[in-house]
Amino acid sequence: MKAWLITWEHIGEHAKPSKRIVALLSPRWSQDRVRDHVHVLYSMNGYSPAEKLNLLKKHAHIPHPAQFQETQGRINCGHNPWLYARLVDDLRVSTDPAAVEGLTWKERTLSKRHTLSA
């Protein structure tokens, strides 16, 4: 199955989120719609109360806007940790030996299969 996969990414253990997989979105969604959704997700989870309130202003400064990387077909939003959205292929549910469900998928730019617990 194809889908937009949104995950938290980080550098360093201090910034490691408790859950990595954030959302799965329809592959039919446009890049602009996904970018807007990613920004809302990040603002809900990554902004301080003051930054959230500031977003209500007409010409608000957006501290970490979601940005589309056209050459790679990816969307990033945030600093550390940040949200990372991309289209993936061959997405499916997997279960490890301890019966913990996770997801596996193929990155479009890599042939390597990735596995993560939800």
Q: What is the pLDDT along the chain (118 residues), one digit of tens a residue?
A: 999 999 999 999 999 999 999 999 999 999 999 999 999 999 998 899 998 999 888 888 888 899 998 777 899 999 999 999 999 999 999 988 888 899 999 998 744 566 666 6
pLDDT of residue 73: 85
The pTM assigned to this predicted structure is 0.83
pLDDT of residue 118: 60
If one counts every other C-beta atom within 10 angstroms of the C-beta of residue 78, the result is 23
CA distance 85 to 108: 12
All structural domains of the chain with their residue ranges: 3-89
Sequence-ordered alpha helix ranges (H) in the chain:
31-46, 49-54
pLDDT of residue 111: 47
